Amino acid sequence: MKIGIIGAMDVEVASLKEKMVISRTETYANMTFCEGTLGKTSVVIVKSGICKVNAAMCVQLLVDHFEVTHIINTGVAGSLDNAINIGDIVVSTDAQYHDVNATVFGYQKGEVPQMGIVAFPADPSLRAAAVRAVGHAAPDVAVFEGQVLSGDQFISTRARKEELMRDFHGKCTEMEGAAIAQASYANKIPYVIIRAISDKADESVEESYDAFEAKAAVHCANIVEYMVSHM
Protein backbone atom coordinates (compact mmCIF):
# COMPACT_ATOMS: atom_id res chain seq x y z
CA MET A 1 0.00 0.00 0.00
CA LYS A 2 1.22 3.47 -0.91
CA ILE A 3 -1.11 6.40 -0.28
CA GLY A 4 -1.03 9.65 -2.22
CA ILE A 5 -2.16 12.56 -0.04
CA ILE A 6 -3.16 15.71 -1.92
CA GLY A 7 -3.86 19.19 -0.61
CA ALA A 8 -4.38 22.21 -2.83
CA MET A 9 -2.54 24.67 -0.58
CA ASP A 10 0.54 24.63 1.63
CA VAL A 11 -1.56 25.04 4.77
CA GLU A 12 -3.41 21.81 3.91
CA VAL A 13 -0.31 19.61 3.80
CA ALA A 14 2.38 21.42 5.82
CA SER A 15 1.65 19.73 9.14
CA LEU A 16 1.56 16.29 7.48
CA LYS A 17 4.95 16.88 5.88
CA GLU A 18 6.36 17.87 9.26
CA LYS A 19 5.22 14.57 10.78
CA MET A 20 6.34 12.24 7.99
CA VAL A 21 9.77 10.71 7.46
CA ILE A 22 10.83 11.85 3.99
CA SER A 23 12.99 9.49 1.93
CA ARG A 24 13.01 11.43 -1.32
CA THR A 25 11.61 14.56 -2.93
CA GLU A 26 10.82 14.94 -6.63
CA THR A 27 9.36 17.81 -8.64
CA TYR A 28 7.12 17.35 -11.67
CA ALA A 29 4.98 20.02 -13.36
CA ASN A 30 5.88 22.53 -10.62
CA MET A 31 4.55 20.16 -7.94
CA THR A 32 6.88 18.89 -5.20
CA PHE A 33 6.21 15.30 -4.17
CA CYS A 34 7.49 14.15 -0.77
CA GLU A 35 7.75 10.36 -0.52
CA GLY A 36 8.32 8.53 2.74
CA THR A 37 6.34 7.17 5.67
CA LEU A 38 3.66 8.47 8.00
CA GLY A 39 3.65 6.13 10.94
CA LYS A 40 4.46 2.84 9.24
CA THR A 41 2.48 3.60 6.08
CA SER A 42 4.14 4.51 2.78
CA VAL A 43 2.90 7.89 1.57
CA VAL A 44 3.53 10.56 -1.03
CA ILE A 45 2.38 14.01 0.08
CA VAL A 46 1.97 16.85 -2.42
CA LYS A 47 0.49 20.31 -2.82
CA SER A 48 -1.37 20.19 -6.13
CA GLY A 49 -2.24 23.85 -6.48
CA ILE A 50 -5.77 25.19 -6.70
CA CYS A 51 -8.45 24.25 -9.27
CA LYS A 52 -9.44 21.18 -11.21
CA VAL A 53 -6.69 20.88 -13.83
CA ASN A 54 -3.94 21.04 -11.21
CA ALA A 55 -5.75 18.42 -9.13
CA ALA A 56 -6.22 16.00 -12.02
CA MET A 57 -2.60 16.40 -13.15
CA CYS A 58 -1.48 15.70 -9.61
CA VAL A 59 -3.31 12.38 -9.46
CA GLN A 60 -1.86 11.26 -12.78
CA LEU A 61 1.66 12.15 -11.66
CA LEU A 62 1.17 10.20 -8.43
CA VAL A 63 0.05 7.18 -10.42
CA ASP A 64 2.68 7.37 -13.16
CA HIS A 65 5.76 8.30 -11.13
CA PHE A 66 5.03 6.87 -7.67
CA GLU A 67 2.60 4.01 -8.32
CA VAL A 68 0.30 4.99 -5.47
CA THR A 69 -2.46 2.53 -4.64
CA HIS A 70 -4.85 4.90 -2.82
CA ILE A 71 -5.62 8.64 -2.91
CA ILE A 72 -6.71 10.87 -0.02
CA ASN A 73 -7.64 14.51 -0.63
CA THR A 74 -7.43 16.73 2.43
CA GLY A 75 -8.34 20.38 2.85
CA VAL A 76 -11.08 22.90 3.51
CA ALA A 77 -14.49 23.52 1.95
CA GLY A 78 -17.61 25.64 2.16
CA SER A 79 -20.78 24.20 3.67
CA LEU A 80 -23.82 23.57 1.46
CA ASP A 81 -25.97 22.16 4.25
CA ASN A 82 -27.47 24.32 6.97
CA ALA A 83 -26.75 21.56 9.49
CA ILE A 84 -23.02 21.57 8.69
CA ASN A 85 -21.10 24.28 10.51
CA ILE A 86 -17.62 25.74 10.45
CA GLY A 87 -15.21 23.21 11.95
CA ASP A 88 -17.30 20.17 11.01
CA ILE A 89 -15.89 17.42 8.78
CA VAL A 90 -17.30 16.08 5.51
CA VAL A 91 -16.22 12.67 4.21
CA SER A 92 -17.13 12.06 0.58
CA THR A 93 -19.58 9.43 -0.53
CA ASP A 94 -18.95 10.63 -4.07
CA ALA A 95 -17.89 13.75 -5.94
CA GLN A 96 -19.43 15.67 -8.81
CA TYR A 97 -18.77 18.86 -10.77
CA HIS A 98 -21.16 21.76 -10.37
CA ASP A 99 -19.75 23.78 -13.28
CA VAL A 100 -20.13 21.19 -16.08
CA ASN A 101 -23.25 21.63 -18.18
CA ALA A 102 -23.93 19.60 -21.33
CA THR A 103 -27.65 19.28 -20.70
CA VAL A 104 -28.42 20.39 -24.27
CA PHE A 105 -27.09 16.98 -25.35
CA GLY A 106 -29.16 15.06 -22.83
CA TYR A 107 -26.63 14.84 -20.01
CA GLN A 108 -27.41 15.69 -16.40
CA LYS A 109 -26.06 18.85 -14.81
CA GLY A 110 -22.55 18.12 -13.59
CA GLU A 111 -22.14 15.07 -15.84
CA VAL A 112 -18.97 14.86 -17.93
CA PRO A 113 -19.98 13.78 -21.45
CA GLN A 114 -19.10 10.27 -22.59
CA MET A 115 -17.93 9.12 -19.16
CA GLY A 116 -20.99 6.99 -18.49
CA ILE A 117 -21.18 8.20 -14.88
CA VAL A 118 -22.51 11.34 -13.22
CA ALA A 119 -20.75 11.30 -9.83
CA PHE A 120 -17.54 9.47 -8.98
CA PRO A 121 -18.00 7.15 -5.97
CA ALA A 122 -15.52 7.18 -3.09
CA ASP A 123 -14.06 3.92 -1.83
CA PRO A 124 -16.21 2.44 0.97
CA SER A 125 -13.23 1.17 3.00
CA LEU A 126 -11.48 4.54 2.88
CA ARG A 127 -14.73 6.28 3.80
CA ALA A 128 -15.15 4.05 6.85
CA ALA A 129 -11.52 4.57 7.87
CA ALA A 130 -11.95 8.34 7.59
CA VAL A 131 -15.07 8.35 9.76
CA ARG A 132 -13.32 6.19 12.37
CA ALA A 133 -10.35 8.56 12.32
CA VAL A 134 -12.57 11.53 13.11
CA GLY A 135 -13.99 9.62 16.07
CA HIS A 136 -10.51 9.01 17.47
CA ALA A 137 -8.56 12.11 16.44
CA ALA A 138 -11.38 14.64 16.88
CA PRO A 139 -14.14 13.06 18.99
CA ASP A 140 -15.86 16.37 19.67
CA VAL A 141 -16.21 17.21 15.98
CA ALA A 142 -19.34 16.44 13.95
CA VAL A 143 -18.70 14.31 10.86
CA PHE A 144 -21.01 14.10 7.86
CA GLU A 145 -20.88 11.76 4.89
CA GLY A 146 -22.14 13.01 1.55
CA GLN A 147 -21.41 14.34 -1.88
CA VAL A 148 -18.60 16.83 -2.49
CA LEU A 149 -19.25 19.39 -5.23
CA SER A 150 -16.34 20.91 -7.14
CA GLY A 151 -15.87 23.69 -9.66
CA ASP A 152 -13.45 26.38 -10.71
CA GLN A 153 -15.33 28.90 -8.59
CA PHE A 154 -15.00 30.03 -4.98
CA ILE A 155 -18.61 30.11 -3.79
CA SER A 156 -19.18 33.25 -1.76
CA THR A 157 -22.74 34.44 -2.36
CA ARG A 158 -26.02 33.22 -0.93
CA ALA A 159 -27.58 33.26 -4.42
CA ARG A 160 -24.97 30.91 -5.90
CA LYS A 161 -25.04 28.69 -2.82
CA GLU A 162 -28.82 28.31 -3.07
CA GLU A 163 -28.48 27.48 -6.76
CA LEU A 164 -26.09 24.64 -5.95
CA MET A 165 -28.33 23.42 -3.14
CA ARG A 166 -31.29 23.40 -5.54
CA ASP A 167 -29.55 21.67 -8.46
CA PHE A 168 -27.40 19.14 -6.57
CA HIS A 169 -27.28 17.37 -3.22
CA GLY A 170 -23.74 18.21 -2.12
CA LYS A 171 -22.73 18.60 1.50
CA CYS A 172 -19.88 20.98 0.71
CA THR A 173 -18.18 22.77 -2.17
CA GLU A 174 -14.54 23.27 -3.10
CA MET A 175 -12.33 23.44 -6.20
CA GLU A 176 -10.45 20.15 -6.61
CA GLY A 177 -12.21 17.07 -5.23
CA ALA A 178 -14.26 15.97 -8.25
CA ALA A 179 -11.21 16.24 -10.51
CA ILE A 180 -9.25 14.07 -8.09
CA ALA A 181 -12.19 11.67 -8.04
CA GLN A 182 -12.43 11.53 -11.84
CA ALA A 183 -8.70 10.94 -12.30
CA SER A 184 -8.76 8.27 -9.60
CA TYR A 185 -11.78 6.64 -11.24
CA ALA A 186 -10.05 6.61 -14.63
CA ASN A 187 -7.00 4.94 -13.10
CA LYS A 188 -9.06 2.52 -10.96
CA ILE A 189 -7.48 3.95 -7.80
CA PRO A 190 -9.62 4.03 -4.63
CA TYR A 191 -10.00 7.53 -3.21
CA VAL A 192 -11.70 9.55 -0.51
CA ILE A 193 -12.07 13.28 0.13
CA ILE A 194 -11.91 14.60 3.69
CA ARG A 195 -12.77 18.28 4.09
CA ALA A 196 -13.00 20.53 7.13
CA ILE A 197 -15.56 23.31 6.81
CA SER A 198 -13.92 26.75 6.77
CA ASP A 199 -16.90 28.87 5.71
CA LYS A 200 -20.62 28.86 4.88
CA ALA A 201 -20.16 29.53 1.14
CA ASP A 202 -21.99 32.86 1.31
CA GLU A 203 -21.23 36.52 1.96
CA SER A 204 -20.00 35.73 5.47
CA VAL A 205 -16.92 34.15 3.89
CA GLU A 206 -15.20 37.55 3.97
CA GLU A 207 -15.31 37.44 7.75
CA SER A 208 -14.89 33.72 8.40
CA TYR A 209 -12.53 32.26 5.80
CA ASP A 210 -9.29 33.93 6.85
CA ALA A 211 -10.09 33.29 10.51
CA PHE A 212 -10.84 29.59 10.12
CA GLU A 213 -8.89 28.43 7.03
CA ALA A 214 -5.61 27.52 8.75
CA LYS A 215 -7.31 26.00 11.80
CA ALA A 216 -9.66 23.92 9.65
CA ALA A 217 -6.84 22.74 7.37
CA VAL A 218 -4.65 21.58 10.25
CA HIS A 219 -7.66 19.97 11.90
CA CYS A 220 -8.33 17.96 8.75
CA ALA A 221 -4.66 17.04 8.38
CA ASN A 222 -4.61 15.66 11.93
CA ILE A 223 -7.51 13.39 11.05
CA VAL A 224 -5.73 12.21 7.90
CA GLU A 225 -2.58 11.53 9.92
CA TYR A 226 -4.48 9.31 12.34
CA MET A 227 -6.29 7.55 9.52
CA VAL A 228 -3.14 6.79 7.54
CA SER A 229 -1.13 5.77 10.59
CA HIS A 230 -3.76 3.15 11.44
CA MET A 231 -4.17 1.62 7.99
As annotated, the active-site residues are 12, 199
Number of neighbours of residue 193 by Cβ within 10 angstroms: 32
Residue-wise DSSP of 47-92 = E--SSHHHHHHHHHHHHHHH--SEEEEEEEEEE-STT--TT-EEEE
Which residues does residue 74 pair with via DSSP β-bridges, in sequence order?
194
Radius of gyration of the chain from Cα atoms? Answer: 16
Burial of 141 (0-12, 13-18, 19+ CB in 10 A): middle
- Report phi then psi at 13, rounded to 5: -125, -10
Please name which of 108, 51, 78 lies closest in space to residue 171, comparing C-alpha atoms.
Answer: 78
Q: How far is CA 31 from the centre of its chain?
A: 17
